[in-house]
């Protein structure tokens, strides 16, 4: 069972589109993360939310905009993406820092 749920599983969008990725967890975790993973590479941290506040932004371009509406939900808003942004986007959660992170199945994003 996947305890972190991501939607959609696949997304194809043009460079002028606006779309959002969604992530949900009901484990009571207070830290949530967005990662980007290219083929045959490790996940790269993008954003960290701790107690619903943005605590880490790894110099991600502003065309990616995270949002944490409540402790269970994490969104990633996408606008004017580039072809090189095509990747697997993974959401994860943990109870707090220095604790195991649970990953969702990811959204496979393709930019045309």
Partner 1 sequence: GENVEQHPSTLSVQEGDSAVIKCTYSDSASNYFPWYKQELGKRPQLIIDIRSNVGEKKDQRIAVTLNKTAKHFSLHITETQPEDSAVYFCAALYGGGFKTIFGAGTRLFVKA
> CA 8 to CA 85: how far, in whole Å?
16
- Min CB(100)–partner 1 separation in Å: 5
- Min CB(87)–partner 1 separation in Å: 14
34 vs 64 by CB, closer to partner 1: 34
- Min CB(91)–partner 1 separation in Å: 10
Residue numbers at the binding site for partner 1 (CB under 8 A): 2, 31, 33, 40-45, 48, 50, 55-56, 90, 96-106
61 vs 97 by CB, closer to partner 1: 97
63 close to 78: Cβ distance less than 8 angstroms: yes
Give the contacts of 79 (CB within 8 A, at least 6 positions apart).
Answer: 17, 18, 63, 65
94 close to 102: Cβ distance less than 8 angstroms: yes
């Amino acid at each position: 069972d996947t305890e972190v749920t991501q939607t959609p599983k696949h997304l194809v969008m043009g460079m002028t589109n606006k779309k959002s990725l969604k992530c949900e967890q009901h484990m009571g975790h207070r830290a949530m993360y967005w990662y980007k993973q290219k083929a045959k590479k490790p996940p790269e941290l993008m954003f960290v939310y701790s107690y619903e506040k943005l605590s880490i932004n790894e110099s991600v371009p502003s065309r990616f905009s995270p949002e944490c509406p409540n402790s269970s939900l994490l969104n990633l808003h996408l606008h004017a993406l580039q072809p090189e942004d095509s990747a697997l986007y993974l959401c994860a959660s943990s109870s707090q820092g220095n604790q195991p992170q649970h990953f969702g199945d990811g959204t496979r994003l393709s930019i045309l």
